[in-house]
Amino acid sequence: MNLTDIVTRASAVRLPQSRIAELSGLHKSTVERTLNGKTDPLHKTLERMEKAVVQEELRLRDYLVGLHGTPGADHDAAA
């Protein structure tokens, strides 16, 4: 995942920079500089940020599945 993808996906799940920092273990200023294009990030920095975004996407998916069930599942099949 490149920086543009990270920014787009973090925005899609409304993941703030402070939460990316928390989940990735990176300093908040590192996340801010990276997302604002003020630094050329190391590959491992992008990987850590990517993992944070994916972790949040999966958390939200699990939450929504818990509320609404698995998409496409035939809930009337057992009846």
**Is residue 68, in this structure, part of any structural domain at all?**
no
pLDDT in tens, the chain (79 residues): 899 999 999 999 999 999 999 999 999 999 999 999 999 999 999 999 999 999 999 999 999 999 988 777 665 555 4
**Is residue 57, in this structure, part of any structural domain at all?**
yes
List the domain range (segments joined by +) for residue 36: 3-61
d(CA 45, CA 73): 38
Which position has the token pair 């995942």?
1
Say what the pLDDT of residue 74 is.
61
Please list, in sequence order, all residues whose beta carbon lies within 8 angstroms of the beta carbon of residue 70, skipping any fewer than 6 positions away.
Answer: none
**Is residue 11, in this structure, part of any structural domain at all?**
yes
List the CATH number of the domain containing 14: 1.10.260
**Is residue 51, in this structure, part of any structural domain at all?**
yes
d(CA 34, CA 40): 7
pTM equals 0.83
**Structural domains counted in the chain:** 1
